[in-house]
Chains A and B, each alone.
Chain A
């Protein structure tokens, strides 16, 4: 793989160099012949409330740009290198749009990132004024791709894809185990994704024979989840479905462990902690057996393993923001490659016809319909012996689901 890339690179440079020599026959031109770098806007919230996620997102994008450049840049553009123009969205939509304007002025060919739905909504709309391609990295709101903006693409699954998959996976896992779980309590954050998710779960799960005992909304940030745990203890459900952010999940898992609440399974959906390596490392006992249906990389993908090793070598956890941003940048590079020009209209066209496969996610071929990659789907993971394993669907799984989790 590597060999071929290096070889290609050398050949392209030689070719470009030879052409330059032929026309101008001046050695100094050799360097000038290297095409101007292509500017790519990377927008992430690295300060404010979402700083944690923004940092991982930036890292993923940086690694991708580094790899693409090492492999010879965009070959159809004479090996042009990608150059990152970074913008801090400061965890709010206003700062996000301001950065979009700045990136536009600096002449980026596309923007990748945003992380949170409100930032993605505002930033992609600002970019649409300039027909500037915008690749959403995470933001799951269905509204992002539902507005008919021609410039906006989302490589990752949106909200409805995620929830449909979450329900489907849960039903299949439960059925395969002989339907041990019947009663469910939903614990969700009261923001954009938690409330919508709970509403959907509450209508869908009963169709598959589950009984929803209660839906508990919790604010972000929560100071104390003792009462939630108290109710969980008295309701004693087979299954707890938490969809909350990191801090709240830590509190909930901790308090549940302390109050000895042990449901048959904890099946999180798009949870901030259950597929976060820090959580697993800090609370091995509380995390053990917890399942999550979330963005996750393909554990058997060799390229992903290599990226993971590089990330972990720096002491950082390989959280899903990293492969998602890595893949989104790679997707953009592929579109540039096929567009053969760093022109926005052509890049948008190339994205629309993309069949990109060389990413780190368990998605298969990319296919955009109204800006949403319909090839994308979340997977179900489970913490097993301190490791986060993919347990469903089987084609991507590197472990079997333990369901019920505690025997």
Chain B
């Protein structure tokens, strides 16, 4: 039906988009793996990070890629604070409460963005946004290539933090055995906040990589949340390499099924995968046993 050139280019597009999805899913899977909570505020936090990137560009003329260096530490701090000061104390460890609180936070953030920035859809336009690399018959978008590379770097970095540093070891210990870890003298509240902070930091990077080709409005996060859930499930809840592989796979599936079934109905492909994985192998590709 389609020429091989189109199919290959669609696959390249899928992989490039999938890497960004993976980055968004990273924070979700990390928080799930350690805190065992499903963070409903994930999309809203992404939207606020995107506004931060946009704001720095418009107000201070800072390039979106450079602004990652500014926004990431801020969002790490914010995430740390929110978990430590709001979610942790208010939830008291109850799953239902966490659900309500993250939902409350997302309503708050979304409407704070609405009140602060208005409802307009905004975007950043620079020459780089439109630049392409010509490779034979393919036109590959440079900003998306940067996004792809950035996402791989962040995944590797996060994986390194988790497996090689003391903080990472503490996080993994808490994820596995909360009580045991706290008996060993690990400050569980601190570790939780650290994890939440890392999740938010990953979102901040994603925001910086997205803004050159995407737009932002207070509700933009919703577009990415469902897909991030799917990736988390596919990759295995809590698994970092799983999120990356899952992201790339989903990007590929979305792209091809969009091409073959139409963009609109093509979304079904994603949910079918989601459901099949859950029914057949709920631990996902890389997940630990549930």
**Nearest residue, chain B, Cβ from A48:** B219
Does the CB pair A51–B17 fall under 8 Å? no
| Chain B positions 190-231 with a Cβ under 8 Å from a chain A Cβ | 213-215, 217-220, 222-224, 227
Q: How far is the CA of A296 from the CA of B181 in the complex (A)?
A: 65
Q: Mark B120-152, 1 if CB is under 8 A from A, else 0.
A: 111101000111100000010100000000000
Does the CB pair B223–A259 fall under 8 Å? no
User: Residues of A within 8 Å of B, CB-based: how many?
Assistant: 38
Does the CB pair A226–B121 fall under 8 Å? no
Does the CB pair B10–A254 fall under 8 Å? no
Q: How far is the CA of A285 from the CA of B131 in the complex (A)?
A: 14
Q: Does any Cβ of A come within 8 Å of B90's Cβ?
A: no
Known: A231-B259, A254-B213, A260-B139. A223 touches B10 (CB 8 A): no
Does the CB pair B111–A216 fall under 8 Å? no
Q: Does any Cβ of A come within 8 Å of B283's Cβ?
A: no
Known: A221-B220, A254-B213. A234 touches B121 (CB 8 A): no
Partner among B111, B118, B141 whose Cβ is within 8 Å of the Cβ of A226: B141
Q: Does any Cβ of B come within 8 Å of A257's Cβ?
A: yes
Known: A230-B13, A247-B217, A283-B125. A223 touches B227 (CB 8 A): yes
- On chain A, the residues within 8 Å of B119 by CB distance are 46, 51-52, 54-55
Q: Mark B7-27, 1 if CB is under 8 A from A, else 0.
A: 001100100110000000000
Q: How far is the CA of A47 from the CA of B255 in the complex (A)?
A: 32
Candidate in B6, B10, B120, B224 with the most chain A CB atoms within 10 angstroms: B120
**Nearest residue, chain A, Cβ from B115:** A47
Does the CB pair A251–B215 fall under 8 Å? yes
Q: How far is the CA of A224 from the CA of B120 in the complex (A)?
A: 19
**Nearest residue, chain B, Cβ from A278:** B120
Q: How far is the CA of A283 from the CA of B258 in the complex (A)?
A: 26
Q: How far is the CA of A227 from the CA of B2 in the complex (A)?
A: 12
Q: Does any Cβ of A come within 8 Å of B106's Cβ?
A: no
User: Residues of B within 8 Å of A, CB-based: how many?
Assistant: 44
Does the CB pair B17–A230 fall under 8 Å? no
Q: Mark A239-283, 1 if CB is under 8 A from B, else 0.
A: 000000011001100110111100000000000000000100011
Does the CB pair A219–B10 fall under 8 Å? no
Known: A47-B111, A51-B114, A250-B121. A227 touches B217 (CB 8 A): no
Q: How far is the CB of A262 from chain B (nearest CB, A)?
A: 13
Partner among A190, A231, A251, A255 whose Cβ is within 8 Å of the Cβ of B264: A190
Q: How far is the CA of A36 from the CA of B213 in the complex (A)?
A: 54
**Nearest residue, chain A, Cβ from B129:** A254
- On chain B, the residues within 8 Å of A231 by CB distance are 6, 259
Does the CB pair B6–A230 fall under 8 Å? yes
Does the CB pair A258–B132 fall under 8 Å? yes
Does the CB pair A234–B263 fall under 8 Å? no
- On chain B, the residues within 8 Å of A285 by CB distance are 130
| Chain A positions 215-238 with a Cβ under 8 Å from a chain B Cβ | 216-219, 221-228, 230-231, 234
**Nearest residue, chain A, Cβ from B141:** A258
Candidate in A222, A231, A254 with the most chain B CB atoms within 10 angstroms: A254
Which 5 A-B residue pairs are closest in the complex by CB-CB distance?
A51-B119, A190-B264, A217-B264, A221-B223, A226-B13
Extra contacts, 16 of them, besides A216-B262, A226-B10, A250-B215 (Cβ < 8 A), are A49-B219, A52-B118, A52-B217, A55-B119, A219-B267, A224-B254, A226-B141, A230-B13, A234-B2, A234-B5, A234-B6, A247-B220, A254-B123, A260-B132, A278-B122, A282-B123
Q: What are 26 A-B interface contacts by the 8 Å CB criterion?
A: A48-B219, A51-B119, A51-B218, A52-B121, A54-B119, A55-B118, A216-B263, A222-B223, A223-B17, A223-B224, A226-B13, A226-B16, A230-B10, A230-B13, A230-B259, A231-B6, A247-B121, A250-B123, A254-B129, A258-B131, A258-B132, A258-B139, A259-B139, A278-B120, A283-B125, A285-B130
Which residues of A are in contact with B by a Cβ distance under 8 Å? 46-49, 51-52, 54-55, 190, 216-219, 221-228, 230-231, 234, 246-247, 250-251, 254-255, 257-260, 278, 282-283, 285
